[in-house]
Amino acid sequence: MNSDIDAYGTHLRRIGRPQSTVYLRTWQLRCFGEQHPGKIRAATTEDLTRWLNSHDWSAATRYSVRATFRDFYRFLVEAHVIRRSPAEDLPPIKYYRHNLPAAPEAAIAAVQGDERVRLMVDLAAREGLRRCEIAAVHTRDLRRDPDGWMLVVHGKGSRERTIPLHADIAARIAAAPHGWLFPGRNGHLSASRVWALIRAAMPDGWGPHSLRRRFATRTYEGEHDLRAVQLFLGHSALSTTQVYLDTSSASMREALRWVA
């Protein structure tokens, strides 16, 4: 069992999947393997369906586990370990991504923390970075072009993008010692540590991801350019970007004026 999962983890790393994805998917498979008798390569569609239905999971978790099963068994087919994937016949799981609220200005103003944490918050709320991208910022990622400061962002799936920077954020990065902006024991801080630091600094009821939604909402309200917001956030699809926008009742009333 472990050899198949280890080989799958190696495959994910080789094709550039982030460590967080490798950990989550191999952990999900090991949990299944601990409860499934025999080798999981021999599991049937019924075995996988029973596992998905035997837990009080949210739709998002069930969706994630099903995706792991489908990718894992496809890998085994391509590696000629099994002839057919039992996950191909799993029933679809309805999972709707709902628009969640963006952090209000009052929540950002109430952030408590040292300069390091405040810079993390600004990178999320004013530049739209994910926690894993904040963790991986290096001083060499700071660039200058004729129009101003830019930052090379190391995104999910080893994809890079370059975004404009606010001058004050660029100055704080430039003033930092050469190296990782947020150094940790084994290089830079982990994404989970960045999440914990930001969450602890924010008022109750608001999490780090609401800062990224704040960036998306404010940027779209300013220019109404969804493509620009998509490029800032590093989304591969516009439909994903749309989910990040928090449309207020005030904005809806303003829109209604155009059809009065």
Residues marked as catalytic: 130, 156, 209, 212, 235, 244
Between 45-53 and 59-78, two packed helices, what is the crossing angle to 10 degrees?
160
Q: Nearest 10 degrees: CA dihedral of 158, 163, 167, 172? A: 0
User: How far apart are the C-alpha atoms of 161 and 232, rounded to whole Å?
Assistant: 8
What's the token pair of residue 234? 């590093």
- Yes or no: say if 51 and 64 are a contact pair by the CB < 8 Å rule: no
* 64 membership: H or E segment, kind and range: helix 59-78
Nearest Cα residue to 234 out of 175, 170, 131, 154: 154
Place of tokens 């923390």: 113
User: How far apart are the C-alpha atoms of 127 and 258, rounded to whole Å?
Assistant: 31
User: How far apart are the C-alpha atoms of 48 and 36, rounded to whole Å?
Assistant: 9
Report angle CA 207, 211, 212 to the nearest 5 degrees.
120
